[in-house]
Structure 1
Amino acid sequence: MVTEQLGFDAINLRLEGWTAVHADSQRRQWMRDAEGDEFASTLLLTYQPEALEGIDLDDHVGVRKAVREIADGAGQIMVSVDVVGAAGVPALWYILKQNQAPSGMVYSGCLILPFTNSFFTLQLMCMETGITGIREAIVMDRFIASGVSIRELSESATRFEHGTAKGHYSPDAPEHDVQFPNHPLSKVRRYFRDILSVLSIKGVY
């Protein structure tokens, strides 16, 4: 419940393992410490002093459609969409992925916290570095070994990425994160769980 007009200082994050690299009236940015590549993981908090338009968290079909439009407009692929609890309030949590040059993917997790007259956005970006495609190759080999055909794998992955059905094959599925803890998608999910555990909002209880 909002008990006062929220401002940018309402968000409190007690982050460990992150270094603050920028702060102004509408944006804060952190870089992840102890990464092989100092730009591999970035966290960005932004504040908009206006109501969030076009997204109703009670309309799950509409939420999924809105996120898919965001992904399509940015040339990205939607990985997942959920409505979650964050610091005691409902929030939109989604993950997108995008090809990066010369190889690999960038995974972007976004948490949107809407209030009556403002909203906050937490965006976490993790880049795939080093040898790429290992997660996808190992998961595919596992399904092929179980007797699933290449055609079935292709059709299943396409349905999953287009959001029409969750096929039984998807290297992006969260159950694979344990086997690939250093994969950027696994990091996005793990870092956001850590962030949600320390996130608090003044004026909300």
Structure 2
Amino acid sequence: MPIMFDTSGFQQSGEDMWDSPLTGDRVIRQYTPGVPTIPAPLEDLPALRRDLAEASAEGGCLVEAHVISFAGLPALLRFEKLRHWNRPGGLVYTASVIVPRATGAATVLVLCAENGPTGFRDAMVAARVGIDRMNPPHPYAPHVRGALPYSVADDPQWDAQFPDHPLTRARRWFAELSRTARIDPRFAAQPPFSGPIPDFPGMTPLPDSAPPS
């Protein structure tokens, strides 16, 4: 696999898959050969964010997306939320970083599900900012009306007040994994990703990568 990182605090549950024994959060490492299915060039962040928001709306909501340097290479970082597959009313939050090159993409995906009462973070933030300010138009694509609404409660400014929330955990796990991430020099030496191909698949597929219930 092109990406390597420290898995301390996790237990291996499959090939390139690790689970946290404390929270049930899951980390998955993947490599996909071929031209990466990213909907816009990394250099065009507004278009990339708009297209990602539109794609994510089909099954949930794009929380945020950024182009970053990951282990020294350009990468796409995104946080998303979607409905829990076996817990009515619950949500799952994901953090994924895709490192695209011309011939393939290396990905690290973090899955964090709600373990406690659902909707607690949104309810607490709504009490502070007002219910009428909770769900503004999506900042990347104001025309989008997704399966889940964009929420100001998902802003990173609230993470410190909700340290056990799955979105906070997803951001924290990504920060910890990125500090130790290394890229195989052979993958890094491949030509850079220069543009998208059609048929972007939307949200990260989850059926085979769902965290344990």
- Relative to the length of structure 2, the TM-score reads 0.76
Query: Mapping of 1:1-205 within 5 angstroms?
Result: 8=1, 10-23=2-15, 28-35=16-23, 40-53=24-37, 54-73=39-58, 75-100=59-84, 101-144=87-130, 150-151=131-132, 153-154=133-134, 157-160=135-138, 163-164=141-142, 170-203=152-185, 204=188
Q: Residues of 1 paired with 2:56 and 2:183: CA distance?
A: 28
Contact 1:15 1:198 in 2 (8 A): no
Give 3-state SS (helix, strand or coil) of 1:66's partner. helix
Structure 2 gap ranges (5+): 144-150, 190-213
Q: Residues of 1 paired with 2:18 and 2:154: CA distance?
A: 25
Can you list the C-alpha shifts for 1:81-135, whole angstroms capped at 9, x where unaligned? 1111100011000111112231221101111000121111111110002211111
In structure 2, give the amino acid aligned to 1:84. Answer: I
Structure 1 gap ranges (5+): 1-7, 145-149
Give 3-state SS (helix, strand or coil) of 1:159's partner. coil
Deviation of 1:21 after TM superposition, in Å, equals: 1.3
Larger Rg: 1
In structure 1, give the amino acid aligned to 2:54. Answer: E
> Identity over aligned residues, as a percent?
27
In structure 2, give the amino acid aligned to 1:13. Answer: F
The two structures, once aligned, show a CA RMSD in angstroms of 2.0
Q: Which has the higher contact order (CA 8 A, sep 6+)?
A: 2
Deviation of 1:163 after TM superposition, in Å, equals: 3.7
In structure 2, give the amino acid aligned to 1:33. Answer: P
Q: How many positions carry a matched residue from both structures?
A: 177
Contact 1:160 1:170 in 2 (8 A): no
Contact 2:54 2:141 in 1 (8 A): no
CA separation of 1:125 and 1:161: change in aligned 2, threshold 3 A: farther
Q: Residues of 2 paired with 1:115 and 1:96: CA distance?
A: 23
In structure 1, give the amino acid aligned to 2:142. Answer: T
Contact 2:49 2:140 in 1 (8 A): no
